[in-house]
Amino acid sequence: MTAQEIVAKLPYSKPFLFVDELLQIDENGAVGTFTYDKDLDFYKGHFKDSPVTPGVIMTETMAQIGLVCLGIYLYGDSNADMKAHVMLTSVAVDFMKPVFPGEKVTVKAEKVYFRFKKLNCNVVMTNEAGETVCKGNISGMVTAKLQS
Amino acid sequence: MDKEEFISELKTIVTPYTQEPEALDHISEDTDFIKDLKINSANLVDVVLDVEEKFGIEIDNDAMARMLTVRAAIEIIEDKLAASGRE
């Protein structure tokens, strides 16, 4: 499965798609990018006078690139009638630096294990200066869903 | 290893994944990981991976699907240990 095919299979759309490009994907991990458009709605309220990307959105971005893209890849196209559905089951993230409107981030995920349908990854997000803005461990269950 | 020792080892393994101290205190062969210890299916995978590491065995998909109680877990561990000649 190519990176483009995986992005096409993602079950999200604007304003909740947080993957622009999937640069690299293999059985051990994934690398992708996303640019937080300064007009994204949540900046109006987080915070009222000083927009900063919410940690939950950064976590979601790490999960979409690191867990969901990798989960879809690992599930593969073994069964054409079914598509992979990735359900988030746990997250532990440390935040180091703020991400402001308009910033582009790169997410790198490394698989820790994929067994009994559970995918566990270590994920790091960096900014354009190459600084780590957040990192952590994310896991989810990769299950099959009938193609709609 | 007798039943009590198995239960004690399993208790140590499940402790980080349960928030039910009372059920944990009364852990027995009848304890159900999901119903009694309220461990979700994702954390049950971690319990199984920890069991593999602790006992040096490999658990397959069929065994994983059956491993819902302490009794079933002990049976599976004993079978795998016996199969590898380490009772």
Contact assignment for A118 to B64 by CB distance below 8 Å: no
Quickly state the pLDDT bin for A116 (edges 50, 70, 90): very high
User: How confident is the model at residue B87, as a pLDDT?
Assistant: 62
Residue A147, pLDDT > 90, answer no
* Helix ranges (DSSP H) in B26-69: 41-55, 61-66
Residue B78, pLDDT > 70, answer yes
Dihedral angle sign, alpha carbons of residues A26, A84, B49, B16: positive
Active site residue A85: no
User: Which whole number is the average pLDDT over A97-124?
Assistant: 97
In B, which residues are within 8 Å of A143 by CB distance?
none
User: Which whole number is the average pLDDT over A51-69?
Assistant: 97
| CATH number for the domain that contains residue A118 | 3.10.129.10
Residue B75, pLDDT > 60, answer yes
Q: How far apart are CA A131 and CA B80, in angstroms?
A: 47
Strand order in the sheet with A82-95: A21-26, A29-35, A104-115, A118-126, A132-146, A82-95
Domain, as residue range, for B63: 3-83
Domain, as residue range, for A51: 3-146
| CATH number for the domain that contains residue B45 | 1.10.1200.10
Contact assignment for B42 to A113 by CB distance below 8 Å: no
The total domain count for chain B is 1
Using the Cβ of B19 and the Cβ atoms of chain A, whether some distance falls under 8 Å is answered with no
A100 neighbors A123 (Cβ within 8 angstroms):
no
Strand partners, A25: A30
Q: How far apart are CA A44 and CA A51, in angstroms?
A: 7
In B, which residues are within 8 Å of A89 by CB distance?
40, 42-43
Tens of pLDDT, residue by residue over B8-36, are: 999 999 999 999 999 999 999 999 999 99
User: How confident is the model at residue A30, as a pLDDT?
Assistant: 97
Contact assignment for B45 to A90 by CB distance below 8 Å: no
CA distance B33 to chain A (A): 16
Q: Which two tokens stand for residue A106?
A: 């790169």
User: Which whole number is the average pLDDT over A87-111?
Assistant: 98
Using the Cβ of A141 and the Cβ atoms of chain B, whether some distance falls under 8 Å is answered with yes
User: How confident is the model at residue A14, as a pLDDT?
Assistant: 93
Nearest to B75, CA basis, from B55, B50, B53, B45:
B55
- Please give the residue that has the higher pLDDT: either B86 or A6: A6
CA A109 to chain centre: 9
User: Which whole number is the average pLDDT over B72-82?
Assistant: 95
Q: Which two tokens stand for residue A25?
A: 């994907």
Residue A145, pLDDT > 60, answer yes
User: Which whole number is the average pLDDT over B35-45?
Assistant: 96
Q: Which two tokens stand for residue A80?
A: 């054409």
B47 neighbors B2 (Cβ within 8 angstroms):
no
User: Which whole number is the average pLDDT over A84-91?
Assistant: 94
The total domain count for chain A is 1
Contact assignment for A115 to B40 by CB distance below 8 Å: no
In B, which residues are within 8 Å of A90 by CB distance?
42-43
Nearest CB neighbour to A141, from listed B41, B61, B64 = B41
Quickly state the pLDDT bin for A78 (edges 50, 70, 90): low
Nearest chain B residue to A118 by CA distance is B42
CA A124 to chain centre: 10
Catalytic hit among A46, A83, A104, A118? A46
Q: How far apart are CA B72 and CA B59, in angstroms?
A: 12
Quickly state the pLDDT bin for A146 (edges 50, 70, 90): low
Interface pTM, i.e. ipTM: 0.89
Task: Extract long-range pairs of A8-12: CB within 8 Å, 24+ residues apart.
Answer: A9/A72, A9/A83, A9/A84, A10/A64, A10/A68, A10/A69, A10/A72, A11/A85, A12/A64
Quickly state the pLDDT bin for A86 (edges 50, 70, 90): very high
